[in-house]
Amino acid sequence: MTTAFVHIQSAIVAALVDLTPLESGRVYVNRQRPIAPGIDAAINVRLDQTEAESETTAAVDWRTSYIIECHARAATGDDPAAAVDPLLSDAWARLSALSPVGLGVASVSLRSAINWQYDDAETPTACAVIYMQVQHRTRGATLAAWA
């Protein structure tokens, strides 16, 4: 049995998997390290935190946070923020279009904040972090999705 948390995460990944700035297979799940050398762009979707909002013996209502990291590598001397910008723009548009009905949840929202991170390893990289919050329900005795 897959929990509702992983089921929702899989739907988020599916919405991002064919973004134009990405090569095939560059959407990762719960990865802890930055993109590997030789990769120009990637997305990492991570489960962040889940809190119960209300509970009964029949159901639990949850608020689950997901982190979507958009990584891009810039040529030496170029602005890494400009390198990640097209990927961030496409990811934001896709995530904004996700509907609660399509995800099988009560609500989905993007937090109005983007965290910018930079690394100056062998080539400059930028990571634009998007925060998504999902409200959903599971059956009381399991963590399976309500639907």
Strand duo 41-55 + 27-29: pairing: parallel
- What are the average pLDDT values for consecutive 10-residue runs of the chain, which has 147 residues? 92 89 82 84 96 89 97 91 95 95 93 92 89 94 84
- The pLDDT assigned to 24 comes to 63
Domain chopping of the chain, boundaries:
4-139
For residue 109, what are the β-bridge partners? 133
CATH numeric code, 4-139? 3.30.70.1700
- The pLDDT assigned to 25 comes to 65
Q: What is the largest CA-CA distance in the chain?
A: 58
Report how far apart, in Å, the C-alpha atoms of 146 and of each of 60, 69, 141 are: 9, 28, 11
Report how far apart, in Å, the C-alpha atoms of 94 and of each of 27, 63, 91, 115 are: 14, 21, 5, 18
